[in-house]
Structures are given as C-alpha cells and as structure tokens.
C-alpha cells in the first residue's frame, strides 16, 4: 500500500479533488489552469472561507451552492487598470480603429473584462474616434461578481491620477476627468460610455464562440491557462473573428502554443496585436 506523508503532496491531492468536485458538481473546469497560481488562489479561498483545509473548502462548496459565486470570484483574479499598457491603447487608436471605421457595425469582444477598467478605456477610445454609435462591446467574464462591479462603473478615486497619466500616454487629448464624476473617495464613470456594452457571463474553458467579432481583446487571461487550454481558446478566437479581424493579447502572452498561429499575422510583437489573415 502506498500512502502520502508529504504535506505538499497531500495538498496537491486535495486540490485535485477540489478541481474534480467543481467540475462534476457545477461544470466549472479549472483543470487547464496553471497549477502554481491556482494553488495560490485555492489557499486564499481557504482563508476567505475560514475552512482550514482544502478538503473542508471542497465539502463546503459541494453542499452550499449559494457560496459558489463568491468562490468563483475568489478563484478569478480581477486585477486590472484603466489604459493598462498605454502603448497598446495607442496602437488600437492609431492602427486598429481607423481600419475598423470602414465597417457599418463594429463588434468588439472583450473576454475576461474583470471589473471593467478595460471596457471603459476602450469605450473612451471609441468615443474619441467617433465610433461609439456603430460599435458594440460584448464584455464577458467567468465571474458574475466581477461583471456586476464592471456594470456599476465605480472605482476608488485614488486610481484617478495614474489612470489620467496612462490615458494621456495612450494618446488621449482631453482630460480623463471628463469621463467620470467624483464623489467622496469614489469615482463613477459616465454611464453613456456603456450604452453599447453588453456584459455577459462566458466561460472561455467550456463555452463556445460568443459573437462574430471585428476585434477581440483578451488580455492577461491566457497567462493563467496551460498550453492546451491556450490552444483551445485561441482557436475559438480565430473562429469568432471576421476575416481581417484583430486580436489583442496581454503583453506577456502570445500565439506560441496555438495551432491557430498560422492563421494570424502579427502586427506588433510589443503590443501583441494580431490580424486574422484573409484565408484564416
């Protein structure tokens, strides 16, 4: 008979069982997530739920479906920033939006939108390019709690100075403060920015193509996935894009692990913006 003495190996077993339980009980499949970050987040959830062990956490979630939303929120990492990586937003302004302007309707899928900082940044870009009325953003995430926050558009006011600097670095010519109202220590983004935004739950692991898109932004999500899962998701993005459509990944992500890489042309490796080839 073999048995496990090593506490690390024991925790690995507990996390395997946790992943299996989430999949079989609720259909959430975390088996393709990078193990190191998943382990950190499961540990954080043990603390958040005060269960002491991963096994007790699994037991709690198996029997308390009402706590699932909070668990999914804890497992996802909804960290974002307005105009995160300004050169990316500058490239979208200068090289992508002018080409999208030729379409009568522009569909943008923003996958993994977290609390919405990127959605509002993109909406500001569209407004400044005069494209708001023709563009529709589908902002999706696995976490319904993150989506609810994104819909609200309320953020700490202390984020504003850095956001304003990144807005200018991205080529903004107005003032970031034109787009929000401050109250006490919070800011609320102008609701008109999300008039053409649909927020929806979508799981990149198990759900299929979301819409026919002219631009897909999926930044800082694939880094949490193993190579096989990255391949699945990137294939789905290629199938979702119109010919000549654009894909924008996080600056630390690329198409290396995707069989779909031949279908794309890399426009700029620094900003990780790709274009689906016409035969793609």
Cβ-based nearer residue to ligand SAM, 11 or 118:
118
Q: For ligand SAM, which is the closer residue by CB, 9 or 269?
A: 269
Give the binding-site size for ligand SAM (rule: CB under 6 A).
20
Residues between 207 and 236 with contacts to ligand SAM, criterion CB under 6 A:
219-221
Select from 46-54, 152-160, 164-172, 197-205 the region that touches ligand SAM (CB under 6 A): 197-205
Q: Which of 77, 108, 137, 163 binds ligand SAM (CB under 6 A)?
A: 77
* Site map 139..168 versus ligand SAM, x via CB under 6 A: --xxx--x----------------------
Q: Is 80 in the site for ligand SAM (CB under 6 A)?
A: yes
Per CB under 6 A, does 76 bind ligand SAM? yes
Contact between 205 and ligand SAM (CB under 6 A)? yes
Q: Does 118 bind ligand SAM (CB under 6 A)?
A: yes
* Pattern 13-32, ligand SAM, x by CB under 6 A: --------------------
> Shortest gap between Cβ of 261 and ligand SAM (angstroms)?
21
Q: Give the footprint of ligand SAM on residues 230-269 (CB under 6 A).
A: 250
Q: What is the dihedral of CA 180, 182, 142, 25, to 10 degrees?
A: -160
Q: According to the binding rule CB under 6 A, does residue 112 interact with ligand SAM?
A: yes
Dihedral-angle region of residue 22 (phi above 0 means left; psi in -120 to 50 means alpha; beta otherwise): alpha
Q: 113: how many CB neighbours lie within 10 A of its CB?
A: 31
Applying CB under 6 A, which of residues 45, 58, 78, 170 lies at the interface with ligand SAM? 78
Which of these, 168, 215, 216, 163, lies nearest to 189 by C-alpha position?
163
Chain positions contacting ligand SAM, by CB under 6 A: 76-80, 84, 112, 114, 118, 141-143, 146, 203-205, 219-221, 250
């Amino acid at each position: 008979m073999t048995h496990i003495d090593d506490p690390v190996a024991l925790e690995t077993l507990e996390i395997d069982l946790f992943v299996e339980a989430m999949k079989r009980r609720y259909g959430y499949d975390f088996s393709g997530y990078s193990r190191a970050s998943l382990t950190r987040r499961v540990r954080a959830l043990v603390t958040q739920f005060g269960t002491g062990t991963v096994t007790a956490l699994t037991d709690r979630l198996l029997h308390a479906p009402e706590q699932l939303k909070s668990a999914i929120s804890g497992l996802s990492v909804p960290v974002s920033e307005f105009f995160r990586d300004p050169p990316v937003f500058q490239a979208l302004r200068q090289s992508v939006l002018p080409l999208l302007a030729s379409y009568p309707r522009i569909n943008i899928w923003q996958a993994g939108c977290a609390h919405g900082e990127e959605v509002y940044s993109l909406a500001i870009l569209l407004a400044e390019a005069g494209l708001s009325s023709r563009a529709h953003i589908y902002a999706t995430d696995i976490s319904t709690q993150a989506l609810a926050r994104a819909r609200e558009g309320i953020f700490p006011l202390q984020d504003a100075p850095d956001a304003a600097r990144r807005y200018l670095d991205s080529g903004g010519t107005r003032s970031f403060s034109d787009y929000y109202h401050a109250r006490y220590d919070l800011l609320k983004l102008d609701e008109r920015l999300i008039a053409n935004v649909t927020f929806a739950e979508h799981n990149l692991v198990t759900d299929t193509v979301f819409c026919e898109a002219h631009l897909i932004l999926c930044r800082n999500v694939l880094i949490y996935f193993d190579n096989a899962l990255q391949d699945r998701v990137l294939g789905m993005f290629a199938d979702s894009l119109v010919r000549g459509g654009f894909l924008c990944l996080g600056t630390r992500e690329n198409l290396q692990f995707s069989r779909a890489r031949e279908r794309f042309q890399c426009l700029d490796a620094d900003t990780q913006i790709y274009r689906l080839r016409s035969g793609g």
